[in-house]
A and B are shown apart, each in its own frame.
Chain A
Amino acid sequence: MDDDESATPDPTHIDVVASRQAASDEDNLHASLAALAELSTAKMELADVLTRVAEFAVQAVPGADGAGLTLLEAGYHDTIVASTPFVTQVDDIQYGLGDGPCITAAKERRTLRSGRLESDPQWPEFGPRVGRLGVHSALSIPLLTADGVLGAMNIYAYEHDAFDEHAAHVGELFAIPAAIAVQNAHVLAQTKRLAGQLQDALTNRATIDHAIGILMSRIGCGPDEAFDRLRHMSQSENLKLHVVAMRVVGEAVRRARARHTSP
């Protein structure tokens, strides 16, 4: 064989390899999207659902070694999850500094890509620190809905320049249904949380109203005065209102039982 010919890449071979890689990437994307569609939040906490989404993102995006996902919720702590421990380390640095690709992607609502984190001028403190962890590439994609940003998805790799335009495009394709899955999981989680808290509040309120009725009957007062007395007990004894109410009810029941059993 001619040495010159062996040194020159065969364009046909390159096309075949590229084509096979593209097909493989597409299979991975489809598999991840299918898994995302079947994701059940029935018995999962929200963080579990988000973690699964992050894991699917690793499968979908070529070159990814790990992924993290941040869900922003106004007035509450952000929910931050990771598919693998090294991503947790990286995101701890990011959120500790308050600066990094995920934060920037969510804030600016655009995809960010870096192949040389350790020297990337966008994040002069974050980049070198994660570089020392051996993480050199990042792909950060905002999770968007029609009316706002839900959060962001962070995909990391140990290799330099791990994410090309194709990877970014695949990530953005994945982010669309991911945002819907995250949004729906979030709505369900909020709904279940609200229903549970209303249930707890009403249970406590029932006890408080029992105590109000007891005091009304005992003292011969109206409900406002009875409630004021409960509040006063709560404040002076530094006990929660429903705890004081439980005590009032418990004492009344015990007195009633004693009356029934005494000769």
Chain B
Amino acid sequence: MDIPAALVADLATLTEALGSGDVDLTARLNAVNASISLAVASWVGTAVSTTVGGQTVTFSMIKGVDGVRASLLIPLGRHVADSPGSWIAFYASTPGAFVDLAADFAYALRADLSDLVLDADLAPQREHSEHTLTNFSLINRAIGILVEDGHTVTGARAELTRRASLAGGGLLGAAQSLVRTIDPEP
């Protein structure tokens, strides 16, 4: 399954940010997908979520969202530093497709089978639509504006949170309002 163009663009942005000549995040995701598709014949998609500075970004690619009948979510927080909420999820079109793999992964991760979430995420895109790289960047640019205004990075985050609380519109809304004061047409 080809990675959608929008996700390829996001991964290219992040590959540039990574600054490592050896790593192409699109190729890495393709490799994970190739491997999981060997293990699970009815695999239809993958989602990866990670959190930085309190902001979550979720990347997903699923062929035929309405046809998802099985999912396996693997918490990765113990294996990825400074990101306790990180996880990866795989999706399949056949019910029970991940039962055996979940057992193998639980063994391999020294986790209880209950630590892996089976078949609880059968409507993936509807849950992750706000956790985009675009929103992540917008919030961090707002933080940058506040840093230039005299805050530390930590203080800027706190100030943005305060403004969001006052406005009642959430962190993204506060960031959009702040960025518009500099760039009215983002």
State the A residues within 8 Å of B (CB): 37-42, 73-76, 145-148, 180, 183-188, 190-206, 208-218, 220-223, 240-243, 249, 252-253, 256-257, 259-260
For the A-B complex, the count of residue pairs with Cβ-Cβ distances under 8 Å equals 197
Contacts of A183 in B (CB 8 A): 35, 38-39
Contact of A184 among B14, B86, B101 (CB under 8 A): B101
> Any chain A CB within 8 A of the CB of B83?
yes
Contacts of B136 in A (CB 8 A): 202, 205-206, 209
Closest to B108 in A: A41
Complexed CA–CA distance, A75 and B29 (Å): 13
The reply to whether A241 and B19 form a contact with Cβ atoms under 8 Å apart is yes
Also in contact, A210 and B140, with CB within 8 A (given A75-B31, A196-B80, A198-B48) = yes
> Any chain A CB within 8 A of the CB of B113?
no
The reply to whether B14 and A147 form a contact with Cβ atoms under 8 Å apart is no
Also in contact, A197 and B109, with CB within 8 A (given A222-B186, A241-B19) = no
Give 22 pairs: A residue, B residue, CB < 8 Å, sorted on A. A38-B107, A41-B109, A42-B109, A73-B31, A76-B31, A187-B39, A191-B32, A192-B76, A194-B25, A199-B81, A200-B18, A202-B17, A202-B50, A202-B57, A205-B140, A212-B144, A213-B144, A213-B145, A216-B144, A216-B183, A249-B147, A253-B153
Contacts of A41 in B (CB 8 A): 108-109
The reply to whether A199 and B50 form a contact with Cβ atoms under 8 Å apart is yes
Complexed CA–CA distance, A135 and B76 (Å): 43
Contact of B18 among A145, A180, A185, A197 (CB under 8 A): A197
Closest to A185 in B: B108
Closest to A184 in B: B104
> Any chain A CB within 8 A of the CB of B28?
yes
